[in-house]
Amino acid sequence: MTKNNSTDDLLTCIIKGIEDVKGLDIDILDLREIDNRVCDYFVICNGTSNTQVNAIVNSIQKGVSRELKDKPWHVEGTENGEWVLMDYVSIVVHVFQKHIREYYNIESLWGDAKITSLENKF
């Protein structure tokens, strides 16, 4: 299966937004082969503080808006900056503080998904 151009472009733009502000431990979960999936991809990453988590979210939103003229359908969690969910319909982005990510371990809930882990660039 191949990604359609809009999802591929969105995924690329989201990853760039995370990397631009030094988001860490990026995992891409490909959910397309899973029955009853909620979207095509999850993108999961973490920041080192609530300030960095919110900076990652802002970087993604600005990049997607600038490059693709799109915005998330829904965003929640920015008030405390521990776990922010950004719903772009085909891609759902989870931006965590590290300890919250370890606690919920949502990657383990999607054991059938193909997971691609990107190496930290810094």
Q: What is the pLDDT of residues 48-100, one digit of tens each?
A: 999 999 999 999 999 999 999 999 999 999 999 999 999 999 999 999 999 99
Q: pLDDT value at position 98?
A: 96
Domain presence at residue 121: no
Structural domain tally of the chain?
A: 1
**Closest CA relative to residue 62, chosen from 54, 71, 53:** 71
Decide if 116 contacts 30 (C-beta within 8 A). Answer: yes
Domain range for 108 = 5-113
Q: pLDDT value at position 3?
A: 44
Q: What is the pTM of this model?
A: 0.92
Euclidean distance between CA atoms 9 and 15, whole angstroms: 10
pLDDT band at 111 (very low <50, low <70, confident <90, very high): confident
Q: pLDDT value at position 103?
A: 97
Domain presence at residue 48: yes
Domain presence at residue 120: no
Domain presence at residue 119: no
Domain presence at residue 87: yes
The CATH number covering residue 46 comes to: 3.30.460.10
Domain presence at residue 70: yes
Residue 106 clears pLDDT 70, i.e. is over it: yes
pLDDT band at 35 (very low <50, low <70, confident <90, very high): confident
Domain presence at residue 51: yes
Domain presence at residue 122: no
**Closest CA relative to residue 28, chosen from 119, 122, 114:** 114
